[in-house]
Amino acid sequence: MANVVVVGSQWGDEGKGKIVDWLSERADIVVRFQGGHNAGHTLVIDGTTYKLSLLPSGVVRPGKLAVIGNGVVIDPWALVEEIKTLRAQNVEISRDNLRIAENATLILPLHRELDALREAAAGAGKIGTTKRGIGPAYEDKVGRRAIRVMDLQNLQSLKAKIERILTHHNALRRGLSEPEISAEELHAQLAEIAPKILPFIETVWLLLDRRRREGARILFEGAQGALLDIDHGTYPFVTSSNTVAAQAATGSGIGPSAIGYVLGITKAYTTRVGSGPFPTELEDEVGQRLGERGHEFGTVTGRARRCGWFDACLVRQTLKVAGVMGIALTKLDVLDGFEELKVCVGYRLDGQSVDHLPAAQGAQARVQPIYEVLEGWSESTRGARSWADLPASCIKYIRRVEEFIEVPVALLSTSPEREDTILVHDPFED
């Protein structure tokens, strides 16, 4: 049985939450391996809506073990609130079904403040962060001054680590004309939150290795999308972590040889939140129609998403970088009723045709999409659960998309409800 990595193949918001939840029924363990509470997953189960940010989607399913890996940056206060919210929805959360990597980095209040200060100071050059401290926390991790989950176990030795991180941050705050942070106050905040986090602490790499050897099925759940990858995304309008499938190994402590299948979640059109290039963006009635029909508002931010036609050129690129073997095509029903559908199959850049999005920021802003026009369909696909339920023109659209992106469709999602899914190939059976 294959262990499966799920990654977004666009700019996030592709519908990973539902697909991960659908797959989690076949898994024993669900692992988050990067990002923080800037990610938002919405699950609809038996009419109940669950909104998750830090917790893996599997946590809402009885009998599944949810794991937050070392590649995640954790705001302990946000995590406690998320657990509280789910418990109010009758979801049991204890050490029996949640573990947190001891070597995961913590997001502190100073990270949130710095994130907001920088974004406000950037003006027109802002990146569009969620202001939740994700980037500054990753900076401290790389700068080797981060406070990690395991540091909460020894409050005495934590004091020296707080002094070290504040040497850096108070210098920044002085430069921004902001008041310095009190080491005593930060220590008191961490001492207060520690007992609420420490019951879940775990040596995750060891746990996953043991369970894998016992035959457990492991599902690795990515956040954001491949186009927001710090190396391979539309830099600098990206997140602060690697979002491609290779990060599943690094961000959880399991070797890459343990990964058997990579599933790319791909929306049947394209959306983006925040700033940055978007070659197929539609700032007209069609774009507005896609947004309204797809309820395109961010789970975490509430911001309206920018909408556009499906960009096969861009998706093909991300699928190759992420090593995707099959895609889950989501929100197909949003395309119902369009007389014609456009698919971007390449770009024109300075008078030349190109078959990928260039890495340079200026070139990304200048590319113009080359479209192929496909026939739409008038029938409804919402709730379809088999190929026989799909209109012929819809099937043609799917097959053409497969040709463009050079990867087969493994799953089709036709509504937010988990049962409204067409299985073409079970990733766990690879």
Q: What is the pLDDT, as a whole number, of residue 125?
A: 60
What pLDDT, on the 0 to 100 scale, is given for residue 2?
82
* pLDDT for 123: 66
Instruction: For residue range 30-52, list pLDDT tens digits in order.
Output: 999 999 998 777 777 777 888 88
In the numeric block, the tokens 């406000």 are attached to 120
The confidence score (pLDDT) of residue 1 equals 58
Active site residues: 13, 41
Per-residue pLDDT of the chain (430 residues; tens, 9 = 90+): 589 999 999 998 898 878 888 898 899 999 999 999 987 777 777 778 888 899 998 898 899 999 999 999 999 999 999 999 999 999 999 999 999 999 999 999 999 999 888 877 766 666 666 778 999 999 999 999 999 999 999 999 999 999 999 999 999 999 989 999 999 999 999 999 999 999 999 999 999 999 999 999 999 999 889 999 999 999 999 999 999 999 999 999 999 999 999 999 999 999 998 889 999 999 999 999 999 999 887 656 667 899 999 999 999 999 999 999 999 999 999 999 999 999 999 999 999 999 999 999 999 999 999 999 999 999 999 999 999 999 999 999 999 999 999 999 999 999 888 788 999 999 988 6
pLDDT at 191: 98
343 closest CA partner among 292, 267, 283, 277: 267
The helix-helix angle for 155-175 and 109-122 (nearest 10°) equals 20
- CA 418/CA 17 separation, integer angstroms: 10
Residue 68 makes CB contacts below 8 A (sequence gap 6+) with 31, 32, 54, 55, 56, 74, 98, 99, 100, 101, 104
Model pLDDT, residue 124: 63
pLDDT of residue 69: 98
13 near 31, Cβ under 8 Å?
no
- Check residue 300 and give its pLDDT: 61
CB-based contacts of 411, cutoff 8 Å, min separation 6: 19, 22, 263, 326, 327, 328, 329, 421, 422, 423, 424, 425
